[in-house]
Amino acid sequence: MSEILCSIDDFLKKLERESEKRALDIIHERLMRIGYKIQAKHKGLGFDIKYSIKSRKPIATASYRKNKESGFELHIRPLHVAQYANRFSELSEHIRNCCIQGKDCTRCGYCDKAYEYEYEGISYVKCQFICFNFCFTDIEDSDIDSILQVLDMELEHVR
């Protein structure tokens, strides 16, 4: 049975890397400040967090599994990526690669539509499930500003 925890600090304590703690804390503070709600569950040695506003799909999720190879994952839902993909060159190389290397859409028919965008003359058609794209792992301090930039670019189009 899952236990819902009230404090982001409970989750931050579980993370091993300081850069991941900073990234989650900054994203949490930014989204809470502008009215997003948190749905957070402790799962065994890990956790799942979703940030959403009203009845919309989550704009961001974070998960951590103590016994999972990837450990901590931070995801941003890029519904409006076509409107800012031309700015990917401003991002750290690692975060830019995370943005363009997600799972391609197979047109399975399960979701509404794919994310379609172009970057450096290449067209991308990516799966819309939040777990497959804009998945940031192995976050370093040098990546945090780029992750925030991606979040801010998406938020510009959500409001």
pLDDT tens digits, one per residue of 133-149: 899 999 999 999 999 99
Q: Which long-range contacts (CB under 8 A, 24 or more apart) does 121-130 make?
A: 124/85, 124/100, 126/102, 127/102, 127/103, 129/103, 130/57, 130/58, 130/61, 130/75, 130/77
What pLDDT sits at residue 106?
A: 87
Residue 5, pLDDT above cutoff 50 = no
| Residue 2 pLDDT grade (very low, low, confident, very high; cuts 50, 70, 90) | very low
- For 102-135, how does the pLDDT look when each residue is reduced to its tens digit (9 = 90+)? 889 888 877 767 889 999 999 999 988 878 889 9
Q: What is the mean pLDDT of the chain?
A: 89
This prediction has a pTM of 0.89
pLDDT of residue 1: 35
Q: What is the pLDDT of residue 69?
A: 63
Q: What is the pLDDT of residue 10?
A: 86
Residues 60-80 have a mean pLDDT of 86
Confidence at residue 4, expressed as pLDDT on a 0 to 100 scale: 46
What pLDDT does 124 receive? 94
CA–CA separation, 139 vs 104, rounded Å? 23
The pLDDT assigned to 68 comes to 60
